[in-house]
Amino acid sequence: MKIINLQTAQYVNTIYKMTDSNPKTRFSRKHLTILKNRLAQVTGSWSVEDYRMFITFYSRILPELMNAERCTIFIMEKGSNKICSIFGTGLQEKQIEPPLEGSIVGQVIESGQSRIENSLTDYRGYHSDTDEKTGFVSRNLICSPIKGISANSVSGAIQLLNKAGSEDFTEEDLGRLDEVAHFLSVSIESVVLNQEILTIASYFDKEVERLNQAIVHGTTIIAESPAMREVLDLVRIVSNTPVNVLIQGENGTGKELIARMIHELGDRKDKQFIPVNCACIPESLVESEFFGHEKGAFTGAEQSRRGYFEASSNGTLFLDEIGEMPLSIQPKFLRAIQEGEGSRLGTSATVQYNLRLISASNRDLSVEIKNNRFREDLFFRLFSVEIVLPPLRERKLDILPLAQHFLAQTNQNFGKQVAGFSVEVLELFENFSWPGNVRQLLKEVERLVALTDNGQVMMPNRCSRDLLSFFDNRYKRRRETDYNDLAIPAGTKRLEVDLIKKALHRTKGNKSQAAGLLCITRQGLLKKIKRYALEF
């Protein structure tokens, strides 16, 4: 039989604390994969079924060895005060759930001290309520705590009921049960740890899956906000179907990145992905660019050339800014999409197209149709599914993770080691409207990294003109509001917020050190940060 060692138990406990103490913790894809693989090794280092059989054997053989009628083994469920019977004479798992208070088992677990009770008929408690329900008569018992091997804690208890021959349990009996409990601790803790490992491994599986699904061509898509998670869920659904897709969203929201993700997750991922910006092609060249031409078809056509439709055969054609397409070419586009065929300039020969079409627009195409700038029949042939990307101002939960991601990326690209963002910059980022969306945020981070010395945090005075103006106006309004508000509660809030920000700035965001500077507990600091909506 294999035994889990203390190092493994401590390792699992550390990982548990990491995930349990900070639900917002996000690991890199590399770190998550390493942790996931390590947990797989841990769970494979022993057989939980072996331990269960071992414990079952104890619960069956102990009554015979110690002349008792019944034996029950209890454990404490992790993260709660719930006690459950996992094995017992004539019992199914978790059939009995005695309370922590009001039961002898609960008292033994809470105190960590063994106990003998030889006059249960005179002692009112959980056992007497159970007897009334089951018809069993509990005369006496002994109960020993099962102490954890990897921490100074009690993970459960083992209990024997009714000494045979109407005799009393003795101190010698209790000593033997204590010895049994010591050896049981290895098996009990292994079962408990396995349950924790499975929970943590499941968490890491989901995180790895989330990161795997949000990485396209080495670019990470940050999706902490519900709005973006819905977008990625829809992307995963449509990627496995051959339907054409229209992606709507403002400039800078990442429409091409989403299009690439659909292509990479689909069955055409090994074929061409051809992105075309319709707004960048002169109207006179649109037909030649998309449908190709034969040699001599027009002046300067010195050789035959495939168009985008033909070149993306078996792959994906991404039409960015489709709303900019000239009306004159839209009928030929309609035929190419509807019939899956077209012809090059200078020939009547038909070319078959087998491609997936993904379109994108920062304009509302329904409005363009009303204004006679886009054909309605082409609109209905362009796509079967529409994906709307929310602007950055509507996905505020993504702003700070995006900023941190861009900081790491830019530090690497620029060969710098800028420490991070000041509290003021983080607050500014969260409250700015970002008309340029994710693209503007990236450029702002790049500017700050370029203008900040290594080892220093980025400050608002290094921001671009738009953000600096917003910061100055916001600070001015706050100063005017503060000047006119003389209420003591408001003044107390202003003082606490100011001190918290200064402490976090001085400690570069380390909450434990900041709490020390403020002479309060870390928990107290976390409560104030939450109360004043300063979480970052």
Does residue 100 fall inside a structural domain? yes
Convert the pLDDT of each residue in 259-277 to its tens digit: 999 999 889 989 999 999 9
Backbone torsions φ then ψ of 34, nearest 5 degrees: -60, -45
Q: Is 453 exposed, middle or buried (0-12, 13-18, 19+ CB in 10 A)?
A: exposed
406 plus 514 within the same structural domain: yes
**Euclidean distance between the first and the last CA atom of the chain, given in angstroms as a whole number:** 48
Q: Is 350 found in the same domain as 304?
A: yes
CATH number, residue 453: 1.10.8.60
301-314 pLDDT per residue, tens: 788 889 999 999 89
pLDDT class of 39 with cuts at 50, 70, 90: very low
Question: Which DSSP category does 323 fall into?
Answer: G
Same domain, 381 and 403: no
Q: Do 366 and 313 belong together in one domain?
A: yes
Confidence of residue 335 (pLDDT cuts 50, 70, 90): confident
12 or 292: whose pLDDT is higher? Answer: 292
Tell me the pLDDT of the chain averaged across its residues: 79
Residue 2 has pLDDT above 80, yes or no: no
For residue 243, give its domain range.
219-390
The answer to whether residue 475 sits within a structural domain is yes
- Per-residue pLDDT tens over the stretch 313-328: 899 999 999 999 888 8
What is the per-residue pLDDT for 91?
61
Indicate if 187 and 42 belong to the same structural domain: yes
What is the SS3 assignment for 324-393? HCCHHHHHHHHHHHHHCEECCECCCCCEECCCEEEEEECCCHHHHHHCCCCCHHHHHHHCCEEEECCCHH
Give the phi and the psi of residue 41 in degrees, each rounded to 5: -65, -40
The answer to whether residue 178 is domain-embedded is yes
Q: What is the pLDDT of residue 102?
A: 77
Q: Evaluate if residue 247 carries a pLDDT over 80.
A: yes
**For position 49, what pLDDT does the model report?**
62
Please name which of 116, 190, 194 lies closest in space to residue 156, comparing C-alpha atoms: 190
* Residues 144-173: tens digit of each pLDDT: 998 875 556 787 889 999 998 888 999 999
Q: State whether 384 and 421 are in the same domain.
A: no
In a domain, 289, yes or no: yes
Q: Is the pTM of this model over 0.75?
A: no
Q: Which residue has the higher pLDDT, 495 or 323?
A: 323
Q: With H, G, I as helix, E, B as strand and everything else as coil, classify residue 98.
A: coil
Would you say residue 484 has pLDDT above 60? no
Residue 483 clears pLDDT 90, i.e. is over it: no
Q: Which amino acid is at 507?
A: T
Kindly indicate the confidence band of residue 297, based on its pLDDT and cuts at 50, 70 and 90: confident
Give dist(CA 34, CA 28) in Å, integer.
10
Q: Which of 352, 367, 390 is the last residue of a domain?
A: 390
Number of domains in the chain: 3
Q: What is the CATH number of the domain that holds 66?
A: 3.30.450.40
Query: Is 332 part of a structural domain of the chain?
Result: yes
Q: 56 pLDDT exceeds 50?
A: yes
Share of the chain above pLDDT 70, in %: 77
Of 30-39, 127-136, 349-358, the range with the lowest mean pLDDT is: 30-39
Same domain, 148 and 26: yes
Average of per-residue pLDDT across 86-108: 74
Instruction: Out of 390, 420, 447, pick the residue that ends a domain.
Output: 390
Q: Which of 7-16, 198-207, 240-249 has the highest mean pLDDT?
A: 240-249
Distance CA 513, CA 140 (A): 54
pLDDT value, residue 450: 96
How much of the chain, in percent, has pLDDT values that exceed 90?
Answer: 26
Q: What is the pLDDT of residue 182?
A: 82
Q: Is residue 107 part of a domain?
A: yes
Averaged pLDDT for residues 212-217: 52
**pLDDT beyond 80 at 411:** yes
Domain boundary among 361, 390, 419: 390
**CA angle (264, 266, 269) in 5-degree steps:** 50
Structure tokens belonging to residue 195: 């349950």
- Stretch among 9-18, 110-119, 321-330 having the lowest mean pLDDT: 9-18
Residues 168 and 143 in one domain: yes
pLDDT over threshold 50, residue 3: no
Q: Do 320 and 469 have their domain in common?
A: no
Q: Which amino acid is at 24?
A: K
Instruction: Examine the domain organization and report whether 455 and 520 are in the same domain.
Output: yes
Same domain, 372 and 435: no
Per-residue pLDDT at 334 exceeds 80: yes
**Segment 294-301 mean pLDDT:** 82
| 133/229 same-domain check | no
Q: What is the pLDDT of residue 25?
A: 41
Q: What mean pLDDT is predicted for residues 521-534?
A: 80
**Cβ neighbours, 10 Å, residue 310:** 18
The CATH number assigned to the domain holding 296 equals: 3.40.50.300
pLDDT band for position 478 (50/70/90)?
A: low
For residue 536, being part of any structural domain is answered with no
450 CB contacts (<8 Å, ≥6 apart)?
Answer: 414
Q: What is the pLDDT of residue 273?
A: 94
Any domain includes 509: yes
